[in-house]
């Protein structure tokens, strides 16, 4: 295979590669070798793939080609090379979540979603980088180090599925297995110009038996997908679901996204949820995506979701309800990332001290940081129960707004996934609330996907005024120098209606991907 052929293969979608392998236009071995070569070319600059299994992948590719030669029935990803997030169990490899104490603990079996992808014919090339404990929206940890964004190496690809998004965007993998408890699929997708999806809470529960989410069931992590095309995301979600109508108990049927008539949908959109003002390019992307659906006949209405800051308080309150004890136990014996250390310290402080600290921050003009502190310091079961009651009440209020607000009942919501394009490295320490646009839908448990729309224009780098507030100052710095970075939009559906979101994502993708500013593979 020529160099040109290899480069072409790494720009193909997973569905295209599977079709070419099935038609014997290429071999699985050629597909695997092309993607290994691409990883080796770009990974030194990215540090995205942190566990490699090239020898095993090559052997599996030979077996896949033998199956084609025998005329066997092939799975939908037969012979297709993919990557998976480091936190998933893959037999013979560690799942450290950035903890040095877990670096030598090798999995003895595959997670259920790894099993399903392999049964579909996928060949796993390696595992991709994450933040420590999967707890912030950069991908940097003491075990593997920092992952860089292929669009700009001075920027993060996001987190916690940041290594996954970086290598897919750079062409080293066509799709990847990821997970999401607070934007961990959707923020990396928009930062790297990818499509992705977090399913409805309960459809694809994260099987990890380690980490902060293992015992906490109010806001739950879900397995999901990242890819360069919506069709690849749709196929992967179906595979992770165990099929369109899986033989599971209870069954979780998945609708047919190709049967959705966009013209019959009612769509709400918003660019400001009352937490952090969005960057100009993010605002433009949402308006343009909503306009695409309106142009296809959908009824599209500008809307304001109810009391989002309250939902974000619930999010941080639930995840810090143990006062950081679970995280401290998990971190014992490992070097602690400073961003994690800061969160744990806040979670463990007593309320009186936090109140004093909050008052001081407000006097210094740090209103966003002071507002965050109100979520910490509660370490009792009664407060946790009250949070769950508040969460359930908010879910009812949100559903009622979708049903009863002017223009409704709404089938879909189009909104930002993050207030900003990809942050400079280290900025997530001050920009925690920038990802609140995504975390809202973890509180609600709604299925939500990302579709890339555009890139930041030179005249959109910043319209923010100078501010004493550290969050607003970090947001202004993130916007500066952001020209050329990709921006996606979030497409949210009602629970268990992933197919409606996927249909809208596909429609948007079809209309914008031929534009000059559509995010394609970055030059590296």
Active site residues: 85, 160, 184
Q: Which two tokens stand for residue 89?
A: 């169990």
Task: Report d(CA 418, CA 78) in Å as an integer.
Answer: 35
- Only one residue has tokens 């003009």, namely 365
CB atoms inside a 10 Å sphere around CB 37: 17
CB 192 within 8 A of CB 151: yes
CB 395 within 8 A of CB 287: no
List strand residue ranges (DSSP E) for 149-282, in order: 175-180, 195-198, 222-227, 266-269
Task: Report d(CA 144, CA 217) in Å as an integer.
Answer: 29
Task: Report d(CA 176, CA 119) in Å as an integer.
Answer: 15
CB 203 within 8 A of CB 113: no
Q: Of 158, 133, 128, 147, which is closest to residue 335 (Cα–Cα)?
A: 133
Rg (alpha carbons) of the chain, rounded to whole number? 22
CB 245 within 8 A of CB 403: no
Q: Of 38, 109, 124, 24, which is closest to residue 74 (Cα–Cα)?
A: 24
State in Å, rounded, how far the first CA of the chain is from the last one: 21
CB atoms inside a 10 Å sphere around CB 298: 22
- Name the packing angle between helices 28-46 and 162-169 (round to 10°): 120
CB 264 within 8 A of CB 443: no
Residues 6+ apart with CB under 8 A from 490: 186, 190, 413, 414, 415, 416, 417, 437, 438, 441, 448, 449, 450
- Name the packing angle between helices 14-22 and 54-69 (round to 10°): 50
């Amino acid at each position: 295979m020529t160099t040109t052929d290899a480069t072409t293969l790494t720009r193909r979608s997973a569905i295209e590669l599977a079709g070419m392998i099935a038609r014997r236009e290429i071999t699985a071995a050629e597909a695997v070798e092309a993607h290994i070569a691409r990883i080796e070319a770009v990974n030194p600059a990215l540090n995205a793939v942190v566990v490699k299994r090239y020898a095993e992948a090559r052997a599996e590719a030979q077996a896949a080609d033998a199956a084609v030669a025998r005329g066997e029935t092939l799975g939908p990803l037969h012979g297709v090379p993919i990557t998976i997030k480091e936190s998933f169990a893959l037999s013979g490899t560690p799942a450290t979540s950035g903890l040095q104490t877990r670096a030598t603990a090798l999995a003895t079996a595959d997670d259920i979603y790894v099993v399903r992808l392999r049964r579909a014919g996928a060949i796993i090339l390696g595992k991709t980088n994450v933040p420590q404990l999967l707890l912030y929206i950069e991908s940097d940890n003491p075990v593997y180090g920092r992952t860089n964004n292929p669009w700009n190496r001075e920027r993060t690809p996001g987190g916690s599925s940041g290594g996954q998004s970086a290598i897919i965007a750079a062409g080293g993998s066509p799709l990847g297995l990821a997970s999401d408890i607070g934007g961990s699929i959707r923020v990396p997708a928009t930062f790297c110009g990818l499509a992705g999806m977090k399913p409805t809470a309960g459809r694809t529960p994260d099987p990890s038996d380690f980490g902060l989410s293992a015992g906490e069931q109010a806001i739950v992590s879900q397995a999901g997908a990242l890819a360069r095309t919506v069709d690849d995301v749709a196929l992967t979600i179906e595979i992770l679901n165990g099929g369109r109508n899986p033989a599971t108990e209870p069954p979780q049927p998945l609708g047919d996204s190709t049967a959705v008539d966009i013209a019959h949908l009612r769509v709400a959109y918003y660019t400001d949820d009352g937490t952090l003002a969005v960057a100009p390019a993010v605002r433009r992307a949402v308006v343009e995506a909503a306009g695409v659906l309106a142009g296809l006949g959908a009824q599209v209405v500008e809307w304001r979701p109810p009391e989002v800051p309250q939902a974000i308080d619930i999010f941080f309150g639930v995840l810090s309800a143990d006062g950081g004890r679970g995280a401290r136990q998990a971190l014992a014996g490992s070097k602690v990332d400073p961003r994690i250390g800061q969160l744990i310290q806040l979670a463990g402080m007593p309320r009186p001290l936090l109140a004093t600290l909050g008052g001081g921050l407000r006097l210094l003009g740090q209103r966003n940081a002071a507002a965050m502190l109100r979520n910490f310091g509660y370490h009792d079961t009664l407060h946790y129960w009250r949070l769950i009651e508040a969460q359930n009440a908010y879910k009812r209020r949100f559903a009622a707004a979708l049903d009863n607000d002017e223009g409704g009942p709404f089938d879909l919501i189009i909104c930002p996934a993050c207030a900003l394009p990809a942050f400079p490295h280290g900025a997530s320490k001050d920009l925690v609330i920038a990802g609140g646009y995504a975390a809202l839908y973890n509180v609600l448990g709604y299925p939500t996907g990302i579709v890339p729309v555009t890139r930041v224009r030179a005249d959109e780098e910043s319209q923010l005024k100078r501010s004493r507030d550290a969050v607003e100052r970090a947001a202004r710095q993130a916007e500066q120098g952001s020209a050329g970075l990709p921006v996606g939009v979030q497409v949210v559906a009602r629970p268990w209606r992933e197919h409606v979101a996927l249909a809208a994502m596909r429609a948007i993708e079809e209309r914008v991907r031929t534009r000059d500013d559509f995010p394609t593979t970055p030059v590296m």
